[in-house]
Amino acid sequence: EIVLTQSPATLSLSPGESATLSCSASQSVRDFLAWYRQKPGQAPRLLIYDASNRATGIPARISGSGSGTEFTLTISSLEPEDFAVYYCQQRSIWPPTFGQGTKVE
Amino acid sequence: EVQLLESGGKLVQPGGSLRLSCSATGFAFSDYAMSWVRQTPGKGLEWVSSTSASTANTYYADSVRGRFTISRHNSKNTLYLQMNNLRPEDAGVYFCAKDPKRNPVGTFEYWGPGTPVAVSS
C-alpha cells in the first residue's frame, strides 16, 4: 500500500501568518490526493480533493497543489479555526491511505 | 444539510462482536457509496470498508477482511458495520463517511462524529 509522509509533524505559527504543509507519497498517486482538517474531539473535514479542488464551503485562503509524489497544502492568513491537525489521503491505489498528520499550533 | 450519526460503539471483550450503525439524513442515501474509517492510537486514520450505493460491491481492508461485514438498508437510510472476532488493535473511534459517487472512489466527503469502540478484557 502507498505510504504518505507528512512534514513537519508540528508547525508553530500565529494568527495571520501563512502555513505550508507537505505530503510525500511512496509512489505516484497522480493527482488523487485529498486534505482533511481535524479539530480535537471532532471528525475530519474534507478541505481539498484531487490535489487542488476545494470542497464545499472551504474558503479561497486554503489551497492545494502538487501531483505525482509531492503535494502542498497552503493556508494563508491563519484564523483561529485553522489551528488543528491536517491529514493527507490518497485514493489512487486501493486501499485509500492517510498520512500521520501535521499539527498546526 | 448532510448529517451522519454513528451509534453502537462500546466496550467488548477480545473475540467479541459488535454492530455499528450510521444514520444518514440530508441527502439521497441510496444514491451514494458509503464507507467506514477508524482512528486508532496505533495506526491513526485507517480506511476500514466501503460499499457501493446498491451494495453490489463491497471492499475491506486486509486487517478486517473475514471479520467485518459492511451493509446498508437504503429504505432506512442506515449503514452498518458488523464486527466479529474483535481484537485489541481494533479499538478506536469509528467514523462513517459519505462518498461523492455511487461507487466508492476513496474520497470521504462528509463524516459523522464517530462512535468509540474499546476492546479489552
Q: Is B116 an interface residue toward A (CB < 8 Å)?
A: no
For B33, the 3-state DSSP assignment is: coil
Shortest distance between the Cα of B39 and any Cα of chain A, in A, equals: 10
Task: Evaluate the CA torsion angle B81, B82, B84, B86 in order and state its sign.
Answer: positive
Any idea of the CA torsion for B36, B3, A61, A31, to the nearest 10 degrees?
30
The half-sphere exposure of B107 on its side-chain side, counting CA atoms within 13 A, is: 21
Task: State pLDDT tens for residues A60-79.
Answer: 999 999 999 999 999 999 99
Kindly state the percentage of chain B with pLDDT values over 90: 95
Of B112 and B56, more confident: B112
All residues of chain A having their beta carbon less than 8 Å from the beta carbon of residue B108 are: 34, 36, 44, 46, 89
Nearest partner of B47 among A36, A11, A82, A21, judged by Cα: A36
- Write down the mean pLDDT value for chain A: 96
From CA B68, how far away is CA B55, in angstroms rounded?
Answer: 15
All residues of chain A having their beta carbon less than 8 Å from the beta carbon of residue B113 are: 42-43
Check residue B115 and give its pLDDT.
Answer: 98
The distance in angstroms from the start CA to the end CA of chain B is 40
Check residue A40 and give its pLDDT.
Answer: 92
For B22, the 3-state DSSP assignment is: strand
Place of cell 490535489: A51
Check residue B95 and give its pLDDT.
Answer: 98
- A50 with A65: CB under 8 angstroms? no
All residues of chain B having their beta carbon less than 8 Å from the beta carbon of residue A43 are: 95, 111-114
From CA B102, how far away is CA B55, in angstroms rounded?
Answer: 10
For B89, the 3-state DSSP assignment is: helix
Task: State pLDDT tens for residues A10-55.
Answer: 999 999 999 999 999 999 999 999 999 999 999 999 999 999 999 9
Task: State pLDDT tens for residues B43-76.
Answer: 999 999 999 999 789 999 999 999 999 999 999 9
Mean pLDDT, residues B24-48 taken together: 96
Check residue B42 and give its pLDDT.
Answer: 86
Check residue B5 and give its pLDDT.
Answer: 98
**Binary contact (B105, A95; C-beta < 8 A):** no
Kindly state the percentage of chain A with pLDDT values over 90: 100
Mind giving me the DSSP string for chain A?
A: ---EEEE-SEE---TTS-EEEEEEESS--TT-EEEEEE-TTS--EEEEETTTEEPTT--TTEEEEEETTEEEEEE-S--GGG-SEEEEEE-SSSSPEE---EEE-
**Binary contact (B108, A34; C-beta < 8 A):** yes
Mean pLDDT, residues B25-29 taken together: 97
Task: State pLDDT tens for residues B74-95.
Answer: 999 999 999 999 999 999 999 9
